[in-house]
């Protein structure tokens, strides 16, 4: 009797599990397939790059033709990857420092016009920055920072601030004040207190801010396109606009696939390595 | 091999030396997608001159915007190879160097490509000089003609013949198509390849003074009908409907029977696709006659550049017999008619057809070229897609006509 | 967005206040770098944009003051009206599509089961890729000659011959919506998930024991309790959709027949293709107004405030 019930329950559980994982696998396929398709197709020989990717895998041996073609655009793919890395990593470092300080300030201090300043920073989200590109360009020129990666980095940091400051303020808000008071009694003050005591506690928030800064800087293309004017300084997405524009009146889809992979893989790797922090930070931010 | 190496190293050290004492580095921009004529010319110049050119390739769709923004920020290049139709707009805005006195002092000024000089001239001053010259012509694939049982040496003389031959080629089946054009809102492609159909009858899409849109003519209707009919008969690959110009040279895949293209393409086909056996002829008008679009690039100099003399040296190099030869080898037609024969000597005979086209070619002169014609979201680009691929031809005509007029009327 | 979060300043007790006062200005010091950056690279450009919107401002040549003419011109600008209505249409459809998929996915990954965290990761993967990169990837997949969809559709007999998905409005629009859902839905899913997880499970359990059906529990318990999360997800989704640009620029160049020009695309065209920077600026200011209004309306509709 009880064995029968157990069996029935096990069966239901089994079929429930089947349904659950059946749906999961199907959905996963939808989300993963484009990556795999592009990745495998990019390894096909140049002669096949213009044909439909059926099957997607290279039929006669792996070939790096598409990547070689990609390398012939602009100043070579290494140079542009280096530029992109430099810009993205600098954006990360600066964003973390600036938003850490600001988040701490907003969370722990009271000062005149505090809410005005906070809203001001958050309001940056509301403006399509495409529409302020020209004034931005002129201001950068006045500062002697146009056509320079430094100028681009500063713009990216600014674009990251609303999310990052919001994030860091929430992270600090979540830290009990007692910890701070205790540390203060132990003689930790100001920056020392912030770096030694509080930083480890808001690390998930920092990770979130850092990852978002990296991804956004890595992926941004319009500002880079307008603000940079030297081949050597172009970042990867600008290189991709040249690839998309085609050469000699034909678009090389192999180079597009290779470019998509070069653009995608670092994003995926970083996310997969740091996703625990990333998700935790994101969810903490959303709950608040 | 060793000899080669020696030459290479001595060249390299020469470059190093010349770099060390280089007088100037000229920053120059060129748009992508116009073939190798300009880059080859710059390479040759750098190898033989003290002054050096630092070339930046800018995606063709973004060049105008980038240049304008760069001027606003004071970071413009010394000179650039500018699609000639934009020269009036930039000259009118007062951003280009007046080259009048120097240019008129050139012995061969009178023999420079007249349509380029005309577009380079604004209020009687010369701001742009011809650098790259090309015309549109109709190419047909001789290999496919043969397979389809057509006479490969007989050029189609009118559009009925083009259509009939295209049908024969499409009948070969598979991926073989009879005709191709970039129909996905590529204003630049279509003004280059499609308007000659009506220009041949002496009508145009703008009035002489550029103040009235005259799109809706019986000739334009007939031309649209011809393209529609070829699309309906499945003679044109599906991809054409969304090709915004990136696949302008589909002809190079060897499976297209006919396509109107430019002289640059002849250079590309000859150099990079030697397997494709093709002929070229003048683009027939829809009611007979022939016409062509004289396009290409003017070289323009940013106003008040400190490196004017160096740029002038480069321009003179481009006009030298050696420079002309390099350009022509890469598909740019001779800029100087006085030494055209000498320049074309020993080069592919098909280039001659493109040179002949200069005689019947037109180039629109309007400050609004970008807004009216070239912009992918402008009325002309939209019209070509809507009229040929859309369901409502009359509506396409009406919308485009009124939108063009309103852009002209609202121009600052 | 700032309104979703009332600043949780602990009410400082009186004796401490004086000590605090001396530290007041220190707070300003901490936020100074952020304020300086935002001022130089955001506030000044925006004020500059406002200033430009009162001018006829060609990119090259001299600007001239024309007062409110740019704003008046908008009312008779049919292309701007078309861009507005297309953007509204896109925003509605994209938001519905994203939520319609994100909610089931969030419920799917809600319970801790074996494999769930892997699913969460997988569904989230496209979020970390750039929109431009994703557009590039999908424009290849949708390409008629070299892509994937066309031969697959033909193989399944959906279309007789190779189909150019991007050639007609409805197909191109559907392709873009699928791409955007693929790209964004993981993000919305995670946000909704945080809302779901913040609901105490004993509450749900109690309702279940009281005999509330699955739908009733969802409708009368889960949804109301998720208001704040919903508001956040909705605002992010709507704002993102209203500002959409990359996908139309890269995948369809605004076509077919110019019917996919979003507002930002139109502003981009006015500013950087037609070089009418003054008019482009005026349009930007109007767009800003629309976004602020939308956020206020959404917050009000979901009455975020009354929960606190």
SS3 A68: helix
Cβ A102–C126 below 8 Å, yes or no? no
* Run of H or E residues at B129: strand B128-141
Burial of B104 per CB tally in 10 Å (0-12, 13-18, 19+)? exposed
Cβ C129–A190 below 8 Å, yes or no? no
- Give the pTM: 0.84
- Backbone torsions φ then ψ of B56, nearest 5 degrees: -115, 125
Chain A CB contacts of B271 under 8 Å are none
Chain A CB contacts of B65 under 8 Å are 226
Give residue C1's pLDDT: 35
Q: A154 — contact with chain C (CB < 8 Å)?
A: yes
SS3 B31: strand
> What's the full length of chain C, in residues?
308
Chain C CB contacts of A115 under 8 Å are 7
> What's the full length of chain B, in residues?
412
CA distance C282 to chain A (A): 10
Cβ B242–C61 below 8 Å, yes or no? no
Mutation for A interface: B56, B245, B269, B376, most A CBs within 10 A: B56
Supply A153's token pair.
């980095």
Q: Give me the residues paired with residue B361 across strands.
A: B292
Cβ A154–C229 below 8 Å, yes or no? no
Of the candidates B226, C74, B250, which has an alpha carbon nearest to the alpha carbon of residue A248?
A: B250
Cβ A98–C131 below 8 Å, yes or no? no
Say how far apart CA C162 and CA B342 lie, in whole Å.
48
CB within 8 Å of chain C, chain A residues 108-127: 108-112, 114-115, 117-122, 124-127
Chain A CB contacts of C18 under 8 Å are none
Class of domain B135-293+365-410 (CATH, top level): alpha beta
Per-residue CA distances from C155 to A36, A52, C138, C149, C172 (Å)? 21, 12, 19, 10, 20
For B93, the closest of C61, C164, C254 (CB atoms) is C61
CB environment B37-71: b (16+ within 10 A), e (fewer)? bbebbbebbbeebebbbbbbbbbbbbbbbbbbbbb
Please tell me the number of Cα atoms within 13 Å of B113 on its side-chain side.
34
CB within 8 Å of chain C, chain A residues 160-199: 161, 165-166, 170, 173, 177, 190
Q: If you write DSSP's letter for every residue of chain C in order, what string do you get?
A: -GGGS--------HHHHHHHHHHHHHHHHHHHHHHHHHIIIIIHHHHHHHHHTTEE-BSSS--EE-TTHHHHHHHT-HHHHHHHHHHHHHHHHHHHHHHHHHHHHHHHTTS--TTHHHHHHHHHGGGGS-HHHHHHHHHHHT-TTT-SHHHHHHHTTSSSS---TTSSHHHHHHHHHHHHHHHHHHHHHHHHHHHHHTS-HHHHHHHHHTT--HHHHIIIIIHHHTHHHHHHHHHHHHHHHHT--HHIIIIITT-STTTT--HHHHHHIIIIIS-BHHHHHHHHHHHHHHHHHHHHHHHHHTT-GGG-
Domains and CATH numbers, chain A: 2-66 (no CATH), 68-287 (1.10.3720.10)
DSSP letter at B105? T
pLDDT < 70: residue spans in chain C: 1-23, 60, 160, 302-308
Cβ A248–B61 below 8 Å, yes or no? no
Q: Which residues have a Cβ under 8 Å from the Cβ of A150 and sit 6 or more positions away?
A: none
Return the domain boundaries, chain B: 19-134+294-362, 135-293+365-410
Give residue A244's pLDDT: 80
Chain B CB contacts of A226 under 8 Å are 65-66, 69
CB within 8 Å of chain C, chain A residues 211-250: 215, 218-222, 226, 237, 240, 244
CA distance B68 to chain A (A): 10
Q: How would you write the pLDDT of chain B (412 residues) with one tens digit per residue?
A: 344 444 444 444 444 444 444 578 999 998 876 667 888 899 999 999 999 998 888 876 677 777 877 787 777 899 999 888 888 888 888 889 999 999 999 999 998 888 889 889 988 999 999 998 889 999 999 999 999 999 999 999 999 999 999 999 999 988 899 999 998 888 888 999 999 999 999 999 998 888 899 999 999 999 999 999 999 999 999 889 988 888 888 898 899 999 999 887 888 888 888 899 999 999 999 998 999 998 889 999 998 888 999 999 999 999 999 999 998 888 888 888 888 888 888 888 888 888 888 888 888 888 888 888 888 888 999 999 999 998 899 999 999 999 899 888 877 6
Three-point CA angle B383, B384, B385, nearest 5°: 90
Is the Cα torsion angle C252, C256, C258, C261 positive or negative in sign? negative
SS3 B257: strand
Give residue C197's pLDDT: 83
Domains B19-134+294-362 and B135-293+365-410 share a fold: yes
Chains with at least 3 CB pairs less than 8 angstroms from chain B: A, C
Chain C CB contacts of A98 under 8 Å are 33-34, 37
Instruction: Say which CATH topology domain C53-307 has.
Output: MetI-like fold (1.10.3720)
CATH 3.40.190.10 corresponds to the domain B19-134+294-362:
yes
More confident residue, A81 or C62: A81
Chain C CB contacts of A146 under 8 Å are none
Chain B CB contacts of A231 under 8 Å are 55-57
Burial of B221 per CB tally in 10 Å (0-12, 13-18, 19+)? middle
Mutation for B interface: C136, C250, C275, C277, most B CBs within 10 A: C275
Closest-CA residue of chain C to A275: C121
Say how far apart CA B95 and CA B129 lie, in whole Å.
15
Q: If you write DSSP's letter for every residue of B184-251 in order, what string do you get?
A: TT-HHHHHHHTTHHHHTTT--SB-TTS-SB----HHHHHHHHHHHHHHHTT-S-GGGGG--STTTTGG
What mean pLDDT, rounded, does chain A reach?
A: 84
Asked if A195 and A120 touch (Cβ cutoff 8 Å), the reply is no
Say how far apart CA C241 and CA C99 lie, in whole Å.
13
ipTM computed for the complex: 0.85
Of the candidates B82, B29, B30, B34, which has an alpha carbon nearest to the alpha carbon of residue B261?
A: B34
Per-residue CA distances from B66 to A132, A220, A228, B35, B82 (Å)? 15, 17, 9, 20, 12
Mutation for C interface: B239, B303, B388, most C CBs within 10 A: B239
For B382, the closest of C60, C258, C272 (CB atoms) is C258
For B249, the closest of A225, A241, A248 (CB atoms) is A248
CA distance B35 to chain A (A): 6
β-pairing verdict for B52-58 and B25-31: parallel
Give residue C5's pLDDT: 37
Give residue B37's pLDDT: 84
Instruction: Give the pLDDT band (50/70/90) at residue A108.
Output: confident
Chain B CB contacts of A249 under 8 Å are 33, 245-250, 252, 261, 265, 268
């Amino acid at each position: 009797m009880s064995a029968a019930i157990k069996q029935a329950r096990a069966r239901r559980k089994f079929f429930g599990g089947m349904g659950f994982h059946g749906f999961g696998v199907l959905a996963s396929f939808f989300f993963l397939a484009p990556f795999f398709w592009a990745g495998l197709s990019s390894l096909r020989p140049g002669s096949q790059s213009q044909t439909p990717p059926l099957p997607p895998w290279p039929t006669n041996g792996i070939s790096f033709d598409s990547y070689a073609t990609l390398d012939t655009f602009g100043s070579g793919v290494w140079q542009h990857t280096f530029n992109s890395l430099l810009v993205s990593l600098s954006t990360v470092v600066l964003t973390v420092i600036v938003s850490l300080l600001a988040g701490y300030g907003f969370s722990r201090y009271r000062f005149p016009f505090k809410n005005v300043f906070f809203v001001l920073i958050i309001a940056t989200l509301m403006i399509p920055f495409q529409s302020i590109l020209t004034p931005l360009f002129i201001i950068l020129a006045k500062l002697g920072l146009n056509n320079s990666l430094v100028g681009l980095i500063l713009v990216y940091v600014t674009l990251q601030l609303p999310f990052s400051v919001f994030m860091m303020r929430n992270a600090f808000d979540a830290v009990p004040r007692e910890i701070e008071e205790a540390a203060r009694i132990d003689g930790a003050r100001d920056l020392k207190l912030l770096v030694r005591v509080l930083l480890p506690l808001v690390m998930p928030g920092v990770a979130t801010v850092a990852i978002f800064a990296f991804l956004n800087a890595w992926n941004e293309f319009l500002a880079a396109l307008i603000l940079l004017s030297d081949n050597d300084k172009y970042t990867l997405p600008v290189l991709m606009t040249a690839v998309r524009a085609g050469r000699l009146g034909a678009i090389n889809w192999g180079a597009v696939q290779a470019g998509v992979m070069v653009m995608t893989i670092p994003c995926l790797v970083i996310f997969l390595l740091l996703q625990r922090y990333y998700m935790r930070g994101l969810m903490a931010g959303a709950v608040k | 091999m060793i000899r080669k190496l020696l030459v290479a190293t001595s060249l390299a050290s020469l470059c190093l030396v010349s770099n060390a004492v280089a007088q100037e580095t000229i920053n120059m921009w060129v748009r992508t997608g116009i073939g190798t004529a300009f880059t080859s010319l710059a390479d040759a110049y750098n190898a033989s001159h003290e002054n050096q050119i630092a070339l930046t390739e800018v995606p063709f769709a973004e060049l105008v915007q980038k240049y304008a923004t760069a001027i606003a920020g004071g970071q413009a290049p010394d000179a650039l190879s500018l699609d000639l139709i934009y020269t009036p707009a930039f000259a009118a805005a007062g951003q280009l160097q007046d080259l009048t006195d120097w240019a008129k002092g050139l012995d061969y000024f009178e023999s420079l490509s007249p349509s380029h000089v005309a577009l380079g001239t604004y209020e009687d001053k010369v701001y742009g000089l011809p650098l790259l010259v090309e015309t549109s012509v109709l190419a047909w694939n001789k290999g496919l003609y043969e397979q389809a049982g057509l006479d490969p040496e007989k050029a189609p003389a009118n559009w009925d013949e083009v259509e009939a031959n295209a049908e024969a080629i499409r009948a070969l089946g598979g991926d073989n198509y009879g005709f191709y054009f970039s129909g996905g809102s590529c204003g630049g492609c279509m003004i280059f390849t499609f308007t000659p159909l009506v220009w041949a009858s002496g009508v145009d899409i703008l009035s002489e003074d550029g103040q009235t849109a005259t799109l809706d003519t019986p000739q334009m209707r007939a031309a649209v009908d011809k393209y529609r009919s070829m699309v309906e008969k499945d003679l044109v690959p599906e991809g054409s409907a969304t090709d915004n110009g990136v696949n302008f040279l589909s002809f190079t895949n060897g499976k297209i029977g006919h396509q109107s293209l430019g002289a640059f393409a002849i250079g590309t086909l000859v150099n990079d696709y030697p397997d494709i056996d093709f002929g070229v002829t003048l683009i027939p008008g829809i009611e007979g006659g022939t016409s062509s679009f004289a396009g290409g690039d003017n070289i323009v100099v940013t106003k008040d550049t400190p490196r004017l003399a160096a740029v002038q040296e480069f321009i003179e190099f481009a006009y030298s017999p050696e420079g002309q030869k390099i350009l022509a080898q890469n598909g740019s037609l001779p800029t100087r008619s006085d030494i055209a024969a000498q320049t074309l000597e020993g080069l592919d005979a098909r280039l001659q057809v493109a040179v002949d086209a200069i005689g019947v070619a037109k180039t629109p002169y309007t400050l609004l070229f970008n807004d009216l014609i070239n912009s992918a979201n402008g009325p002309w680009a939209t019209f070509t897609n809507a009229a040929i691929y859309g369901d409502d031809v009359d509506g396409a005509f009406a919308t485009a006509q009124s939108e063009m007029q309103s852009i002209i009327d609202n121009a600052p | 967005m700032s309104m979703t979060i009332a600043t949780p300043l602990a009410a400082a007790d009186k004796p401490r206040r004086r000590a605090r006062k001396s530290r007041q200005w220190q707070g300003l010091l901490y936020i100074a770098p952020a304020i300086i950056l935002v001022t130089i690279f955001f506030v000044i450009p925006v004020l500059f944009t406002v200033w430009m919107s009162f001018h006829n401002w060609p990119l090259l040549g001299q600007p001239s003051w024309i007062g409110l003419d740019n704003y008046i011109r908008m009312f008779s600008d049919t292309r701007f009206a078309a861009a507005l209505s297309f953007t509204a249409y896109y925003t509605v459809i994209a938001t519905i599509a994203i939520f319609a998929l994100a909610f089931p996915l969030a419920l799917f990954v809600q319970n801790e089961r074996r494999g769930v965290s892997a699913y969460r990761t997988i569904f989230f993967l496209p979020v970390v890729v750039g929109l431009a990169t994703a557009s590039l990837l999908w424009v290849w997949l949708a390409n008629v000659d070299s892509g994937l969809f066309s031969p697959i559709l033909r193989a399944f007999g959906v279309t007789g011959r190779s189909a150019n998905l991007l050639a007609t409005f409805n197909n191109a629009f559907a392709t873009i919506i699928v791409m955007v859902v693929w790209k964004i839905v993981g993000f919305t899913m995670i946000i909704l998930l945080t809302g779901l997880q913040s609901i105490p499970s004993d509450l749900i359990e109690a309702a279940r024991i009281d005999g509330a059906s699955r739908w009733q529990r969802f409708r009368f318990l889960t949804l109301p309790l998720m208001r704040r999360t919903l508001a956040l997800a909705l605002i992010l989704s709507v704002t993102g959709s209203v500002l959409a640009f990359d996908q139309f620029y890269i995948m369809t160049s605004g076509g077919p027949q110019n019917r996919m020009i979003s507002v930002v695309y139109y502003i981009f065209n006015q500013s950087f293709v037609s070089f009418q920077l003054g008019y482009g600026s005026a349009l930007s200011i109007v767009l800003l107004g629309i976004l602020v209004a939308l956020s206020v309306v959404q917050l009000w509709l979901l009455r975020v405030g009354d929960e606190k």
